[in-house]
Structure 1
Amino acid sequence: MTTMEIAKKLVELCKQGKNAEALDTLFADEVVSVEAVAMPGAQQEVKGLAAVRAKGEWWVNNHEVHSASVTGPWPHGDRFIVGFEFDVTNKPSGKRMQMAEAALYTVRNGKIIREEFFYDAGM
């Protein structure tokens, strides 16, 4: 698959709530995921598909998602950006918040090898 084909497929799967399928089909086993800041008790950067999957599971277990939207993709060579907006409630604190982030993905050999998230960490 080309970078743009991967980008479009990722957006399509995310819009359908099929994040696990996206990980299984579009991401390399050695993928690196980097957050804008380290969350409490977590690392800013994780390596490997299992670690990225665990990070996603933590998110789902700790947030009630009221709504989500996905925009893009916006390509640039072997990279692309996708925009995400969420209305969520943090389950442990009960705090409801609106979040917006951009994710930069890098593709090599037909798989996503790196994802980097950009957001206002002061939210």
Structure 2
Amino acid sequence: MNTRDIANTLVELCKQGKNAEAKALYSDEIISVEAFAPPGANREVKGLAALQAKSQWWVDNHEIHSAAVTGPWPNGDRFIVGFQYDVTHKPSGQRIKMEEAALYTVENGKIVREEFFYASGA
């Protein structure tokens, strides 16, 4: 698949709530970079297993009330996707609305890097 195909597939799977299935689009050597380090973790994780663990932490610690996905916006071997969430952080009970953009880089038909950017106040 080319970058546009991967971008469209990722967005469609996320819109359907099939984020776990989207991991098939990722390289085994994926690098995932958050804008800020999650509590007790690093900003950057490497490898598909580490990415899946990070995703599981998110699911385990957040009740998702609603989610929306916008995009993709492709440019060469990269594309951006927007995410909006209404979630409750389970440990604190705090309900928040989050907005983030993710920049994905594609090489050899797989996503090799994802970087997250958060709206101020998130």
What range is the shorter-chain TM-score in?
Answer: over 0.9
Give, as a single letter, the amino acid of the residue that structure 2 aligns with 1:17: G
Does the aligned pair in 2 maintain the 1:37–1:121 contact within 8 Å? Answer: no
Q: 1:120, 1:93 → 2: CA distance? A: 21
SS in 2 for 1:56: helix
AA paired with 1:104? L
Describe how 1:9-88 pairs up with structure 2 within 5 A. Answer: 9-23=9-23, 25-88=24-87
Mapped to 2, the partners of 1:97 and 1:4 lie a distance apart of 32
Shift of 1:17: 0.9
Instruction: Count residues in correspondence.
Output: 122
Q: Distance in 1 between matches of 2:69 and 2:94?
A: 22
User: Identity over aligned residues, as a percent?
Assistant: 71
One-letter amino acid of the counterpart of residue 16, structure 2: Q
Q: Return the offset for 1:122.
A: 4.2
8 Å contact from structure 1 (residues 83, 102) kept in 2: yes
Q: Distance in 2 between matches of 1:42 and 1:71?
A: 28
* Cα pair 1:87 1:98 within 8 Å, conserved: yes
Instruction: Give ranges in structure 2 of 5+ residues lacking alignment.
Output: none
| 2:104 is the counterpart of 1:105 | yes
Normalization by structure 2: what TM-score? 0.98
Q: Structure 1: 5+ residue runs without aligned partners? A: none
Return the alpha-carbon distance in structure 2 between the equivalents of residues 71 and 16 of structure 1.
12
What SS does structure 2 have at the residue aligned with 1:36? coil
CA deviation digits over 1:64-100, x for unaligned, max 9?
0000000000001000000000000000000000000
Which position in structure 1 is the counterpart of 2:89?
90
Rate the CA distance shift 1:26–1:46 in 2: closer, same or farther, 3 A: same
Instruction: Give, in angstroms, the shift of residue 120 of structure 1.
Output: 3.6
Are residues 50 and 121 of structure 1, via their aligned partners in 2, closer, same or farther at CA, if it must alter by over 3 Å? farther
Name the SS of the counterpart of 2:37 in structure 1.
coil
> By how many angstroms is 1:39 displaced?
1.5
Q: Which consecutive segments of 4 or more residues in structure 1 shift more than 2 A?
A: 120-123
CA distance in 1 between counterparts of 2:22 and 2:103 reads 15
Q: Deviations over 1:22-47 (max 9, x none)?
A: 00x20000000000011110100000
